[in-house]
Amino acid sequence: MLRSRIIPCLLVHKKGLVKTTEFKDPKYVGDPINAVKIFNEKEADELMVLDIDASVERRGPDFDLIRNLAVECRMPFCYGGGITSIVEAKKIIGLGAEKIAISSAAIKNPVLIKEIAKAVGTQSVVVVLDVKKRGLIGDYELFIHNGKERTGIKFKDFLKTLNEIGVGELVINSIEDDGKMTGYNFKLFDIARETVDFPMTILGGVGSLEDIQAAIKKYKTIGAAAGSLFVFKGKYKAVLINYPNRQERNNLYQLQK
């Protein structure tokens, strides 16, 4: 039986580790390599690292960063940022990442997902969808380039496209909840759970272990990802890399049974 995973999501901006709110105002919180070393010690289930500059700057992945992260990382490692080709995807896997995450390129050219999956294996292909609601009563829409560019593509319509193509994993990032630490947007994630039949990781809004608890209890097998929760501590958001201890994690994993 697959079990839920608790996943720190690290954002890299100008070579540093940052945290955003609604994809804006990146706050520097440290060095990515040092953060990886700490998550190693805390035995994190998995790590997701997203270079939020690459697609916006229309450049390729930072292979030096990926190499350095992979050397340090003792847990499954997913990297995203600037991936637009099979060659880049294969190189990243060759450097030691277990998964590659594609966002803008996958939305612009869904066929690329299938082509990369053939080259590196479907289990290694993660599609990241940054989603925001259009108005108070509108549909959820996909955004790209750090939420700066609207695509006009409805979230549910693209989910149906992904279902036809098939991917290893889907990461759904709620732009409106990013960095607010007020809890997951279950209304958004319910749409995906009802539409797709492959593994799903949810991201955006986590403020406590109780939020992760609620997600695992609701969805059973889920990737519960978070950013702020694992880099801040306390109501004043002091920078502190943290992660639930083994007993806390075991208690959370029990909820999926």
Which of the residues are catalytic? 130
Cα separation of 153 and 145, whole Å? 14
Question: Within 13 A of 165's CA, how many CA atoms are on the CB side?
Answer: 26
Burial of 33 (0-12, 13-18, 19+ CB in 10 A): middle
Cα separation of 3 and 253, whole Å? 7
The four Cα atoms 96, 99, 101, 107 give a dihedral, to 10 degrees, of 130
Backbone angles phi, psi at 187, to 5 degrees: -60, -40
The DSSP line for 51-86 is ESSTTTTT----HHHHHHHHHH--S-EEEESS--SH
Cα separation of 204 and 188, whole Å? 11
**2 token code pair:** 């697959």
Cα separation of 124 and 100, whole Å? 6
Check residue 87 and report its DSSP letter. Answer: H
Cα separation of 68 and 21, whole Å? 27
